[in-house]
Amino acid sequence: MKRVSILGATGSIGQSTIDLIGRDPAAYDLVALTGGRNIAQLASDARRLRADIAVTAHEDLLPELRGALAGSATEAAAGPAALVEAAHRPADWVMSAIVGVAGLAPGLAALQQGATLALANKESLVAAGQLLLRTARAHGARILPVDSEHSAIFQALVGEDASAVTRVVITASGGAFRDWPLARLAQATVAEASSHPNWDMGQRITIDSASMFNKALEVIEAHEFFGFAPDQIEVLLHPQSLVHALVGFCDGALMAHVGPPDMRHAIGYALNWPHRRPLPVPALDLAAAGVLEFRAPDETRYPALRLAREVMGEGGLAGAIFNAAKERALDHFIAGHLRFTDMSAVVDEVLSDLAATSDARNDAPTLDLVAHMDHLARHRADMATETRKL
């Protein structure tokens, strides 16, 4: 039996992971499930899957979680330290699907106990890629990508000589506003930004898809995880979201990964790796899809892509600054304090202010230093929001 933990079990990726595991319960031994405010979901999944422990991120919800688990075999716990403790419990495979940099410390804890970390939480790679990779190496642990584009690249590289790779192309749907006139973007509402044309995902990543911050994070993620040089990573708009990524080789060949927009593909690949097993995903009918379109993204519409290149050029803790400023700008947009188009202006300002500081010039940061930089960048993003506040 494979011992499995799911961090962020109540979210979109967490629920898709539970869907796969729940189809073959005899094959898995559930160690820990974690969630946030949705205690009913967390408790019912923990009971059904007989998890050893269920953890909510919020300490004030511990009595409610205890009540919901009364009479079951599952232990209840709450708070950030309990999340880390749960992630550190021996397991073979841990899904990292908390949203935001909050997933970093639990992800590191999972690697420290030697688990294979299935990484959906791209923010932790952007904020602390080298720290994650170093921790994995030090503990003989492995990271498998779950972001669909990175899973696609990973699959296209199987059996290939990495030194023969000359380019990678990450595709982007273009999000909710890809066909809006530029002038209208400043007026975009939270509700409008929260609906994705092709993928059904959590609210934050859906808004990040509309602003292209999601793709910016993914470009940095590819740089950190695979070690591709910034100028080897291209982004193409592909409105159908069927080709997830392409890998180009020195002989000119391009290997594309094609599949329906269903995250159970990438999650299942990481769950079954190094094998392939059937997944409950409908076969793709390319004749019905008909046309696959590709076009270059317009960087005036998507300034986040330019910022991603700046982050890779700066190195050090620029990724932690970028991610924290982006998370905070997104909080302010969701709260109605900031225009959609001002999120990138805030991130740009914070990055310009902090990325060149001596603290940020550290290529082997500790978790404490990442947390310090994250804190500074959030504070700076609040100040940059103040001058633009609606």
Q: Contact positions toward ligand NAD, by CB under 6 A?
A: 8-14, 35-36, 57, 83, 97-100, 102, 120-123, 147, 199, 201-202, 204-205, 263
Q: Least distance to ligand NAD from the beta carbon of 264, Å?
A: 10
Residues in contact with Mg ion, counted by CB under 5 A, come to a total of: 3
Q: How far apart are CA 214 and CA 105, in angstroms?
A: 21
Q: Residue 202 touches which of ligand NAD, Mg ion, none (CB < 5 to 8 A by kind)?
A: ligand NAD
> Per CB under 5 A, does 314 bind Mg ion?
no
Q: Least distance to Mg ion from the beta carbon of 166, Å?
A: 22
* Closest chain position to ligand NAD (CB): 11
Paired strand residues for 4? 30, 93
One-letter identity of residue 307:
L
Q: Least distance to ligand NAD from the beta carbon of 192, Å?
A: 18
Would strands 243-249 and 254-258 be described as parallel, antiparallel, or unpaired?
antiparallel
Q: How far apart are CA 97 and CA 267, in angstroms?
A: 11
Q: Least distance to Mg ion from the beta carbon of 12, Å?
A: 12
Q: Residue 123 touches which of ligand NAD, Mg ion, none (CB < 5 to 8 A by kind)?
A: ligand NAD
The label of the residue with tokens 């001002």 reads: 342
The stretches of the chain forming alpha helices (DSSP H) are: 12-22, 39-49, 62-69, 80-88, 104-112, 122-138, 148-156, 190-193, 203-211, 213-226, 264-272, 286-289, 303-314, 318-334, 342-354, 367-386
Q: Least distance to ligand NAD from the beta carbon of 98, Å?
A: 4
Per CB under 5 A, the segment of 140-148, 165-173, 195-203, 267-275 that binds Mg ion is 140-148
- Helix-then-strand count for the chain, H and E: 16, 11
CA distances (Å), origin 116, targets 208, 351, 352:
27, 33, 36
Closest to Mg ion by CB, 199 or 273: 199
Would strands 75-78 and 116-119 be described as parallel, antiparallel, or unpaired?
unpaired
Closest to ligand NAD by CB, 98 or 127: 98
Closest to Mg ion by CB, 123 or 147: 147
> Per CB under 5 A, does 147 bind Mg ion?
yes
Structure tokens that stand for 139 in this block: 């503990």
Q: Residue 249 touches which of ligand NAD, Mg ion, none (CB < 5 to 8 A by kind)?
A: none
Q: Least distance to ligand NAD from the beta carbon of 335, Å?
A: 16
- Contact residues for Mg ion (CB under 5 A)? 147-149
